[in-house]
A and B are shown apart, each in its own frame.
Chain A
């Protein structure tokens, strides 16, 4: 089955309170368990803040501090699933959006 990347986009600024975050993480884990039970789950992870990123370029020793592109909404985490088609992937995307309370970009892999 083809792979799809579900990217979580989170807004810049103050993160939710600890209680809110705990509730969200509980839902995110339940969502992940559901994906595992359905046999579609490949990988999930949450990223550290975009300020922790470093950009490396080909052929130079120069490193740049910070993300490739500074944005108001940035990649905060990702899940890779194995789904039969876009409709199935979008359904998992909807569930992930409900769990994270954030927009999810669903994008097919070209190769893997």
Chain B
């Protein structure tokens, strides 16, 4: 594909598939038709049509009709499929009307397993190939292909509806969508960055905000991702080692993304309907505001987060902020109360606090526990170096 076609593919693939799924009532046919349309675009462009997305959708529709004509045998099945998803539901009933939203809610339906939701969302809305998704999640391509085939079969056979949920179900169902997008982001943002996934998650986040501008958690999630992404260039030092927040070179942060993230957080604050993603974004905003982190404010925000969604992981992060505000001893008391023995950051945080308190032997033991619990090579290297400094002190 030419660069132009590739760019339109990245931006418009999800919209085109979403429209075609509505028209054809069948996901596989929609994907085939859109692929045909992009193949034709690759031979015809340039010149670009005035509305590339419109051209793709019109061409895909024509391609689908061609296919129907060529393969008459399949006709009956697809006439039947056409009435399948939308038949009983007037389209106007949902609160929002974009086909991409319908498709996102179908892909992230709670009757599908989380790995299937993630794979379908990336494939149908992001336009990633099965091979790309398999590589991103480090599973064999055949496994990923089977996961996608099974999920599509379940959508068809169990009649998972192609629509935006009713208002009463929307908050819960939206949580599932946001969780999928955030999972794609965190997978792409581990200590071995897989930029494509983070970029894809942010693209999905932007689309969602465009489609649901009145949902503050959508805005919060986008802000959270942008502020994390802004710091990416400073997160790894030479040789891929991790650089903790307070040691990062702030001049490497992406100022444009920081500014955009801060603006989104301000918009969330004005709306006054806080939720977990918004509060986490606000915490990231404090970290990226000025020369130094205001730790008292971070602690206050973690208090708010814990009030909304109590979780031991959030409590651990709060303790890290308490260490900066009140010193390591106060933080260690909080950490020791948490039941997170199987979670490697728990041991890493304890180790760091013990090191700072000069309790070297206990610190080394905690570093060992943390190292044993992570498979991540960069993380292990980081922890080994810290352990050495603890031993040396």
Contact = CB atoms under 8 A, between A and B. Distances in A.
Interface of A: 1-2, 84-87, 90, 107-108, 110
A110 B161 contact: no
Interface residues of B, number: 13
Interface in B152-189: 157-161, 165, 169
B69 to A, nearest CB: 28
Given A86-B161, A107-B158, 8 more contacts: A84-B88, A85-B85, A85-B159, A86-B111, A87-B161, A87-B169, A90-B111, A110-B157
A2 B165 CA distance: 20
A86 B157 CA distance: 9
A108 B159 contact: yes
Contacts of A85: 85, 88-89, 159-161
Contacts of B169: 87
Nearest to A107: B158
28 contacts: A1-B88, A2-B159, A84-B87, A84-B88, A84-B89, A84-B159, A84-B161, A85-B85, A85-B88, A85-B89, A85-B159, A85-B160, A85-B161, A86-B109, A86-B111, A86-B158, A86-B159, A86-B160, A86-B161, A87-B160, A87-B161, A87-B165, A87-B169, A90-B111, A107-B158, A108-B157, A108-B159, A110-B157
A17 B9 CA distance: 63
A108 B158 contact: yes
A86 B161 CA distance: 7
A90 B159 CA distance: 11
Contacts of A84: 87-89, 159, 161
Nearest to A4: B158
A108 to B, nearest CB: 5
Contacts of B161: 84-87
Interface string B78-90: 0000000101110
Contacts of B85: 85
A84 B157 CA distance: 12
Nearest to A109: B157
A90 B111 CA distance: 9
Interface in B74-113: 85, 87-89, 109, 111
Contacts of B89: 84-85
Contacts of B111: 86, 90
A110 B153 CA distance: 12
Nearest to A2: B159
Nearest to B88: A84
Nearest to A90: B111
| Candidate in A2, A86, A90 with the most chain B CB atoms within 10 angstroms | A86
A86 B158 CA distance: 6
A2 B81 CA distance: 13
B274 to A, nearest CB: 29
A6 B187 CA distance: 36
Nearest to B111: A86
A30 to B, nearest CB: 22
Nearest to B86: A85
A66 to B, nearest CB: 31
List the 7 shortest-distance A-B pairs measured between CB atoms, nearest first.
A84-B88, A85-B161, A85-B159, A108-B158, A86-B158, A86-B160, A86-B159
A85 B159 CA distance: 5
Contacts of A90: 111
Contacts of B160: 85-87
A1 B87 CA distance: 10
A85 B25 CA distance: 14
A1 B157 CA distance: 13
A89 B157 CA distance: 13
A84 B87 CA distance: 8
Contacts of A1: 88
B178 to A, nearest CB: 19
Contacts of A86: 109, 111, 158-161
B168 to A, nearest CB: 11
A51 B216 CA distance: 55
Nearest to B156: A108
Nearest to A108: B158
